[in-house]
């Protein structure tokens, strides 16, 4: 149950997509002075050293953030995300990749709060070392269950990132249950759900469950580096966003074609931007 470690995959193409969307949402929430809460249900370790034994085992970052930095599409949407990468690599040599809690931690204002949940004991220790702060709450808890007691937040504004490893098949149903809970408790929250494409049929079922759930205002982005396959491994990854910032769909429509051509294998790049459920 606790075997998954994100350090093996830090900085890969799926992280690039996930963190681009995360940065866009947080940037939008900052446009108002009112505070907001950032909730990360599966926070991981926070920061990842790319030369560590786990990250270096498959060096997935080389075909993700590494390739992007070598050939950056000239798109303004990328700039805030890249600033986050370089803020953790001040000598402009890629040694560290910031995970979602580290990105959120650096973008929080004094009036905002972060709630970071992680079950793996080693990752919690590292998370506390890298992401602690006066307005950051780190818990060794099941992030799905924590939502029940946390919502609605006092601020009434929230970005909730859900990105379980999907090691257990129950996670696909648990994310649907979490989305319904959030929408019932805090219907105005912006929710970003990450998913891997390992079995396309599971993603199609996930999409159907969302479209028939009664949840409104949902967009979907997907980035692929290889065709769907019956073999092992992730060929694409996606983000489903509830209550997206108004400019997010347009920004991703501008960005993803270039991003797919840079990160995908030659002739195998794939992307999708669409409205899954209207307002």
Q: Which of 40, 163, 251, 269 is catalytic?
A: 163
- How far is the CA of 240 from the CAs of 55, 73, 206, 223, in angstroms? 26, 23, 10, 12
Q: How far apart are CA 196 and CA 9, in angstroms?
A: 12
163 given a catalytic annotation:
yes
Closest by Cα among 191, 248, 241 to 220: 241
Q: How far apart are CA 77 and CA 74, in angstroms?
A: 9
DSSP annotation of 72 reads -
For the chain, the first-to-last Cα distance in angstroms comes to 37
CB 253 within 8 A of CB 273: yes
Strand-by-strand arrangement of the 270-277 sheet: 136-139, 113-117, 37-40, 158-162, 190-197, 236-242, 218-224, 270-277
- How far is the CA of 45 from the CAs of 29, 89, 161, in angstroms? 24, 17, 15
Q: How far apart are CA 68 and CA 131, in angstroms?
A: 25
Any idea which residues carry the catalytic annotation? 163
């Amino acid at each position: 149950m606790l075997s998954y470690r994100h350090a093996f995959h830090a900085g890969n193409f799926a992280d690039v997509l996930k963190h681009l969307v995360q940065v866009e949402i947080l940037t939008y929430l900052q446009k108002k002075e009112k505070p907001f809460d950032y909730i990360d249900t599966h926070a991981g370790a926070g920061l990842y050293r790319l030369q560590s034994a786990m990250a270096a085992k498959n060096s997935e970052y080389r075909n993700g953030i590494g390739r992007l930095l070598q050939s950056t599409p000239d798109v303004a949407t990328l700039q805030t995300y890249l600033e986050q990468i370089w803020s953790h690599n001040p000598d402009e040599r890629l040694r560290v990749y910031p995970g979602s809690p580290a990105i959120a931690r650096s973008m929080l204002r004094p009036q905002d709060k972060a709630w970071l949940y992680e079950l793996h004991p080693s990752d919690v220790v590292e998370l506390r070392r890298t992401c602690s702060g006066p307005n950051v709450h780190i818990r060794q808890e099941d992030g799905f269950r924590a939502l029940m007691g946390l919502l609605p937040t006092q601020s009434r504004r929230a970005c909730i990132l859900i990105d379980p490893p999907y090691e257990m098949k129950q996670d696909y149903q648990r994310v649907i249950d979490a989305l319904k809970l959030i929408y019932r408790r805090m219907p105005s929250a912006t929710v970003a759900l990450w998913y891997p494409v390992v079995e396309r049929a599971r993603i199609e079922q996930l999409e159907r469950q969302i479209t028939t759930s009664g949840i409104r205002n949902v967009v979907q982005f997907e980035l692929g580096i290889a065709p769907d396959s019956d073999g092992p491994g992730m060929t694409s990854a996606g983000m489903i966003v509830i209550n997206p910032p108004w400019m997010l769909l347009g920004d991703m429509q501008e960005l993803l074609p270039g991003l797919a051509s840079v990160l995908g294998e030659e002739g195998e790049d794939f992307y999708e931007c669409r409205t899954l459920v209207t307002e």
